[in-house]
C-alpha cells in the first residue's frame, strides 16, 4: 500500500513504507520515491540518523534545513524525494523538486535540490549517504534521478566537495548518453582556527592585527560595548527582526541585497533559526553599542566548524566599524569554543580573502535531455553568455544558475 502522496514514476519503485522488510530481494539496493510533504515530514528520523553518521553532511543537507525550506518555498512545485533502501533499511536520501520556468518563450522544467532555486543560495548540498556504502548508493540515486520524468534539465549545484555524488551523477549521465556539464559552483574562503586567540593574532600581518585591535579599542572608547551570543529561545523572533533590519539598512546604503528582501526569505530563515537553536547549531553573534544591538552575524556551528550565513550592522554607527569589530569577537568566540574552521560560505567580499587561510570549491553538474526545453535552457543560460563574453573579451561567465 502506498503512502498518501506517493506516485508511480516509470522505472522506479513506489515508496511502500518506512519499516524494515521493504527492500529489494537478495540485499540489493532499491530506490523508492516520495512526492508529498507529509512523507517528507515522516522521513525525519531516518534522515537524521543517516545525517548524523554521513561523511558529507552539513546544516544545508539536513532534514531540518530542507524541510523548513520546502514548507516556505515548495507550494505548487512537484516534490521528488528518492530513498535508497538495503534490506529495508534506509541508506540514502536525495530530495529534489521540479522548478518550472519560461526561457526564451519555451516552458522549461528543471530538476533541482530542495533548498536551491529560489532566493536562497545554500552551499554543501547533496544526498545523505550511509557510511560504508556511499559509492554504490550515490550511483543508484544518480541513475534514479536521471530516470525521473517531467524534467528537461537537471541543475544540481553547490554539491559538497566531500560528497561522491557529483562524480556518480557524471558517470550516470555518461552511461545514459546524456549531454552534461560539470563545473565549479563556488569558490569558498575559510579560516583555519588555531587553539587560542593570541595564536590567531600572531598569525595575522602586523598591519591587520593593529587594525583589528584598534577598531575594538575605539568602539569601546566611544560606546558602552557588549559582545554576546544570543541564548534566549523565546526572544528569537526579536533577534530575527533586528537582523533583518540591520541587513537591509546596511545594504540599502550599498545598493541593495537579495537577502532578507522578501517575506519568504525572512520566514524561511526565521523557521530555520528556531529549528537549529535546540540542536546547538545556531550562533547569532551580537554587538551591542550603548544598549542597542548595532551588528549581528548569523552563523551555524556544525562539526566544529562555524559557517557564516549573513550579517548586518547599523550604518548610522559605521564610524565605529561595528561589523568589523563583531567579526573579530565572533572569531575569538569560535576559537574559544574549540572550533577548527570559520567558513565564509559563498559571496565575494574583500574581507573574506584578506582573512582566509584557504579556499574550497563546491561542485555543480547539469544534465540535459533531448528536448526543446533543454535546448532553450542551454541557449539562454550557457551558450549566449559564453558567446557574449568571447565577443567582448570578458572573463568566462559564472554559469551555474
> Cell 558529507 maps to which residue?
56
Can you give the pLDDT at residue 35? Answer: 96
The whole-model pTM stands at: 0.90
Question: Per-residue pLDDT tens for 66-86?
Answer: 999 999 999 999 999 999 999
| Cβ contact 314:245 at 8 Å | no
Instruction: Give the residues across from 293 on adjacent strands.
Output: 288
- Per cent of the chain over pLDDT 90 is 80
Can you give the pLDDT at residue 98? Answer: 97
Can you give the pLDDT at residue 10? Answer: 41
Q: Residue 75 and residue 260: Cα distance in Å, rounded?
A: 20
Pairing, β 292-302 against β 29-34? unpaired
Question: Per-residue pLDDT tens for 42-52?
Answer: 999 999 999 99
Instruction: Give the residues across from 31 on adjacent strands.
Output: 84
Return the H-helix or E-strand segment holding 229: strand 225-229
Can you give the pLDDT at residue 250? Answer: 75
Question: Per-residue pLDDT tens for 325-381?
Answer: 999 999 999 999 999 999 999 987 778 888 999 999 999 999 999 999 999 999 999
Can you give the pLDDT at residue 395? Answer: 80
Instruction: Give the residues across from 312 on adjacent strands.
Output: 296
Distance between alpha carbon 273 and the CA centroid of its chain, in Å?
14
Q: Could you write out the three-class secondary structure of 10-72?
A: CCCEECCCCCCCCCCHHHCEEEEEECCHHHHHHCHHHHHHHHHHCCCCCHHHCHHHHHHHHHH
Tally helices (H) and strands (E) across the chain.
13, 14
CATH of domain 13-189+361-392: 3.40.630.30
Long-range pairs of 295-301 with CB within 8 A, sequence gap ≥ 24: 295/246, 295/322, 295/323, 295/325, 295/326, 296/239, 296/242, 296/243, 296/246, 296/326, 297/323, 297/326, 297/327, 297/330, 298/243, 298/269, 298/273, 299/330, 300/59, 300/276, 301/334, 301/337, 301/339
In the predicted model, what is the mean pLDDT of the chain? 90
Angle formed by the axes of helices 263-276 and 236-254, nearest 10°:
140
Does position 236 have pLDDT exceeding 90, yes or no? Answer: yes
Question: Per-residue pLDDT tens for 115-165?
Answer: 999 899 999 999 999 999 999 999 999 999 999 988 999 999 999 999 999
Identify the CATH assignment for 194-339 out of 3.40.630.30, 3.40.250.10, 1.10.1060.10, 3.30.420.10: 3.40.630.30
Return the H-helix or E-strand segment holding 219: helix 206-222
| Cβ contact 284:296 at 8 Å | yes
Does position 308 have pLDDT exceeding 50, yes or no? Answer: yes
The full set of domain ranges for the chain reads 13-189+361-392, 194-339
Asked whether the domain spanning 194-339 has the same topology as the one spanning 13-189+361-392, the reply is yes
Does position 21 have pLDDT exceeding 50, yes or no? Answer: no
| Residues listed for the chain | 401
Q: Residue 215 and residue 198: Cα distance in Å, rounded?
A: 17
Please indicate whether residue 92 or residue 348 has the higher confidence score (pLDDT): 92
Does position 25 have pLDDT exceeding 50, yes or no? Answer: no
The phi-psi region of residue 155 (left if phi > 0; otherwise alpha if psi is between -120 and 50; otherwise beta) is: beta
Can you give the pLDDT at residue 24? Answer: 52
Q: Residue 24 and residue 13: Cα distance in Å, rounded?
A: 10
Q: Residue 163 and residue 185: Cα distance in Å, rounded?
A: 14
Amino acid at each position: 500500500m502506498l503512502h498518501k502522496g506517493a506516485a508511480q514514476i516509470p522505472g522506479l519503485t513506489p515508496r511502500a513504507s518506512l519499516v524494515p522488510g521493504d527492500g529489494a530481494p537478495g540485499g540489493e539496493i532499491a530506490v523508492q520515491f516520495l512526492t508529498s510533504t507529509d512523507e517528507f515530514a515522516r522521513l525525519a528520523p531516518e534522515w537524521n540518523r543517516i545525517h548524523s553518521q554521513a561523511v558529507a553532511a552539513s546544516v544545508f543537507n539536513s532534514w531540518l534545513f530542507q524541510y523548513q525550506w520546502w514548507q516556505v518555498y515548495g507550494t505548487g512545485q512537484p516534490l521528488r524525494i528518492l530513498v535508497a533502501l538495503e534490506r529495508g533499511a534506509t541508506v540514502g536520501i536525495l530530495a529534489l523538486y521540479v522548478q518550472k520556468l519560461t526561457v526564451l518563450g519555451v516552458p522549461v522544467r528543471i530538476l533541482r535540490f530542495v533548498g536551491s532555486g529560489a532566493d536562497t543560495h545554500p552551499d554543501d548540498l547533496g544526498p545523505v549517504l550511509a557510511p560504508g556504502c556511499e559509492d554504490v548508493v550515490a550511483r543508484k540515486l544518480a541513475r534514479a534521478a536521471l530516470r525521473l520524468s517531467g524534467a528537461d534539465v537537471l541543475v544540481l549545484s553547490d554539491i559538497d566537495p566531500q560528497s561522491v555524488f557529483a562524480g556518480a551523477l557524471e558517470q550516470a549521465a555518461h552511461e545514459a548518453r546524456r549531454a552534461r556539464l560539470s563545473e565549479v559552483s563556488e569558490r569558498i574562503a575559510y579560516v583555519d582556527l588555531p587553539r587560542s586567540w593570541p595564536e590567531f593574532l600572531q598569525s595575522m600581518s602586523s598591519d591587520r592585527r593593529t587594525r583589528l585591535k584598534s577598531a575594538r579599542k575605539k568602539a569601546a572608547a566611544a560606546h558602552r560595548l557588549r559582545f554576546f551570543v544570543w541564548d534566549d529561545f523565546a526572544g528569537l523572533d526579536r533577534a530575527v527582526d533586528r537582523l533583518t533590519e540591520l541587513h537591509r539598512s546596511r545594504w540599502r546604503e550599498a545598493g541593495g541585497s537579495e537577502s532578507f528582501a522578501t517575506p519568504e526569505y525572512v520566514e524561511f530563515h526565521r523557521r530555520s533559526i528556531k529549528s537549529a537553536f535546540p540542536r546547538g547549531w545556531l550562533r547569532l553573534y551580537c554587538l551591542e553599542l550603548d544598549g542597542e544591538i548595532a551588528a549581528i552575524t548569523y552563523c551555524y556551528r556544525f562539526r566544529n566548524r562555524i559557517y557564516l550565513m549573513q550579517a548586518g550592522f547599523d550604518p548610522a554607527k559605521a564610524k565605529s566599524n561595528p561589523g568589523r569589530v563583531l567579526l573579530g569577537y565572533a572569531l575569538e568566540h569560535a576559537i574559544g569554543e574549540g572550533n577548527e574552521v570559520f567558513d565564509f560560505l559563498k559571496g565575494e567580499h574583500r574581507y573574506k580573502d584578506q582573512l582566509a587561510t584557504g579556499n574550497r570549491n563546491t561542485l555543480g553538474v547539469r544534465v540535459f535531455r533531448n528536448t526543446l526545453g533543454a535546448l532553450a535552457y542551454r541557449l539562454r543560460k550557457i551558450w549566449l553568455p559564453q558567446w557574449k563574453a568571447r565577443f567582448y573579451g570578458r572573463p568566462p561567465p559564472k554559469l551555474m544558475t
